[in-house]
A and B are shown apart, each in its own frame.
Chain A
Amino acid sequence: MLSLTWALIAVPLASALVLLLVGKRGDSWAPWAGVGASGATFVVGLGAYIELLSRDASDRSHHQHLFAWITGGELKVDAGLLVDPLSLTFVLLVSMVGTLIHVYSVAYMAEDKNRRIFFAYLNLFIAAMLLLVLADSFLLLFVGWEGVGLASYLLIGFWNYKPEYATAAKKAFVVNRIGDIGLIVAMGLMFAAFGALDFETVLGGAAGASEATLTGIGLMLLLAATGKSAQFPLQSWLGDAMAGPTPVSALIHAATMVTAGIYLIVRSAAIFNGAPTAQLVVAAVGAITLIMGAVIGMAKDDIKKALAASTMSQIGYMMLAAGLGPIGYAFAIFHLVTHGFFKAGMFLGAGSVMHAMKDQVDMRRFGALRGAMTITWVTFGVGWLAILGVPPFSGFHSKDKIIEAAFVGEGWQPWIFGGAALIGAGLTAFYMSRLFFMTFHGKARWTDDQHPHESSWLMTVPMIILAVGSAFLGLILASGDRFATWLEPVTGHVEHHDPVLSIPVIIGATLLLVALGAFAAWRLYGAREVVPVATQGSLATIAARNDLFQDQINEALYQRPGQHVTRMLVFADAAVVDGAVNKQAAGFLKWGESWRRLQTGYVRSYVGTILGGLLIVLLIVVLGGL
């Protein structure tokens, strides 16, 4: 199946094109065509996985050259696919979760008359995401990177007849473009330093490059990653991106696309290994975002926005792990995979709840759904336990490892990063429990016209599968460091480092904080009555509800000065550049005007001029003869 990897991209892409072009007659079979295309990628991915697994560990890399893509001067880029444990992990995650969400969408979007377009976009996303992870060069990766950005934009704005949804899509698009500039600049630096853009040359040559170059490339790659993965300081778009249909939020803005930044950093491990400063910045960004996301998540009443904040926070964990260097890469990807399962599961659960509650997203209007939607409650509960990191659920195995790894090191760093990770775990427990209790427990605060009911099997089956994954995947992959060993050809082998605190202490502290957070949430939102309308709250609550004023800060820091600079530039352009040209033109015009007076239109004046000329000639003759 390895030779068929091109089909991973071609099949969903072809399906997307067909669905887009086929017109209304495809409306009836479009959803299942989309599911089929996505399922085909999973089958191919699984086949490739089995084939790769049968190989020796050192030989688990398959490079498939497709065609010579760009040949321009010194730059030669070939389009090729690289199948190795890292990319295959992503392929499996994307195709499996993607297929499940396709199936879920068949029911979720059943009422939407544009669902053919929706499935076309979803397939487009699958194709672009697989291209992103399978590319063998940064340039081809960039194609996929932009492709997922496009799909994300299209899907966030899928209901773009609502202006605020269209605005949200635009915001995501613009913020992502800022990150893309980072990737473009990084590619420019790579080309300057290594003369190539393929992984083999760049990553192979990274050891020989200067630290300054690597730091520059690393920081630019980080900028790209922050844009795509909604990390500080480019995090603001993710909350608004929840405008898209819930399956989109689950697939793109929780499980897969937003983790592309982590993929980029882990893929570029060789560069970051040579640039400790860049690594430190990566870790710092991760730590800041994980706390920030958690704080925002604590105050949100919108179930999807709370989950989005949680996604931000969890990706912060991954970013932190990726910034820790070789000891963290495997755990970052590990957490990414488990997170993909439990977060997608919870988003699907949220979608199920919304479906039952007539698209209500305000958690203060939920409550006591446990009885009405048992399957949703159970699957969501599994996801909840997984994200909390309760053993033996998936999150425990992945997140705990990150917290442990954060405590490894010397000086102040382990304390800061470890502390942040530890506090983040407690905050996560609080806000996820709050969400869970507000939605499924307590008293019903439904509006009169809401009659919750369990969703159809098309929606519950994917949720159940994802819940099973959330429950056991961590345990399976963690036992005997199976996952880390699998990724070793890419991330490199790492000796075990001892954290500054002993491991049992860390685990104990984490579990204690989680228990405290969950208990606090139970006291505040489970046991006590929740008011249907939010009270004003303290200053901190208001700040968190407003996403820590990220939009206002962006506006004050970038937009307003940008506008003023633009205005200034426009003025300068008009006054100086245009002014010079216009003044010059006006000068010539005046000069011409003065010459124009000579053209009186009177024949007799012209005769006068002619005779004047004759007079001058004669004067020269006469005076010259003196």
Chain B
Amino acid sequence: MNPMNFVILAAILFSIGASAVLLRRNAIVAFMGVELMLNAANLALVAFSRLHGQLEGQVMAFFVMVVAAAEVVVGLALIIAVFRARTNISLDEPAELRG
């Protein structure tokens, strides 16, 4: 089995995650979509690492995970702050920036 198949799998997962961000109004669900997209990218990185026989891809994936962890912490803190202010975590509610 060619590792390229994993790259295709990563592409499919990425588009599923993107659809989730586009479609779901629940901030947490949308956020999970973002996580899925990040993981898809990670999968591609690992697959390429395997393809080229180099460790850099894995190291990059590792860094992505760290950054994603930091992002999750801040992002969820934001969601909680928004929830405190609005008792609601719909992404469509805070539309004050409407032009």
Residues of chain A at the chain B interface (Cβ within 8 Å):
595-604, 607-608, 611
Contact = CB atoms under 8 A, between A and B. Distances in A.
Contacts of A600: 95, 98-99
Nearest to B15: A611
What is the interface of chain B mostly: helix, strand, loop, or mixed? loop
B22 A608 contact: yes
A323 B98 CA distance: 79
A620 B75 CA distance: 33
In the complex, which of the residues A598, A599, A602 has the most CB atoms of chain B within 10 Å of its own CB atom?
A602
A599 B21 contact: no
A164 to B, nearest CB: 61
Interface of B: 18, 21-23, 25, 30, 91-92, 94-99
A611 B99 contact: no
B95 A611 contact: no
Nearest to A600: B98
Contact of A604 (B92, B97, B99): B92
11 contacts: A596-B99, A599-B97, A600-B95, A600-B98, A600-B99, A601-B95, A601-B96, A601-B97, A602-B95, A604-B30, A611-B22
A603 to B, nearest CB: 5
Contacts, number: 35
Nearest to A596: B99
A604 B25 contact: yes
Contacts of B97: 599, 601
A607 B95 contact: no
B92 A607 contact: no
Contacts of A608: 22
Given A602-B91, A602-B92, A603-B91, A611 B18 contact: yes
Contacts of A599: 97-99
B21 A604 contact: yes
Contacts of B92: 602-604
A408 B85 CA distance: 104
Contacts of A598: 99
Contacts of B98: 599-602
Nearest to B18: A611
Contacts of B18: 611
A322 B22 CA distance: 95
A604 B22 contact: yes
Nearest to B25: A604
Contacts of A611: 18, 22
